[in-house]
Structure 1
Amino acid sequence: MKKFRTVVSIITMVIAGVIGFFIGATMNEAMSGAILFSMIAGIACVVFTIDNRAE
């Protein structure tokens, strides 16, 4: 189950990065948007994983 959470977290961050890239591109800050969205998604995944430990 740990590997599944890791894979889902990575996929979520990649999708958020792609979405952030295109949203940022509309404001002429493509890489900044991608980094921002990926960081927000990454922090959310970390908080979710810490909150839902299955031990």
Structure 2
Amino acid sequence: MKKFRTVASVIIMVIAGIVGFFIGAFLNEPMAGTILFSMIAGIACIVYAIDNHEE
């Protein structure tokens, strides 16, 4: 289950990066959008993992 959670987090960050790229391209800053959306998704995944800790 722990590996699945890690893989799901990476997939979510990649999808957020792609979405951020297109939104950033619309605003003439594609790399800034990519970094911003990936960081937001990454921090959200970290918070989720800490909050739902299984022993």
* TM-score of the pair, normalised by structure 1: 0.98
* Shift in Å, 1:54: 1.0
Tell me the C-alpha RMSD between the 2 structures: 0.3
Distance in 1 (CA, whole Å) between partners of 2:53 and 2:7 is: 16
Identity of matched residues, %: 73
- Map of 1:18 onto structure 2: 18
Where does the alignment leave 5 or more consecutive residues of structure 2 unmatched? none
Runs of 4+ in 1 over 2 A off after TM superposition: none
Where does the alignment leave 5 or more consecutive residues of structure 1 unmatched? none
- Map of 2:51 onto structure 1: 51
* TM-score of the pair, normalised by structure 2: 0.98
> What is the number of equivalent residue pairs in this alignment?
55
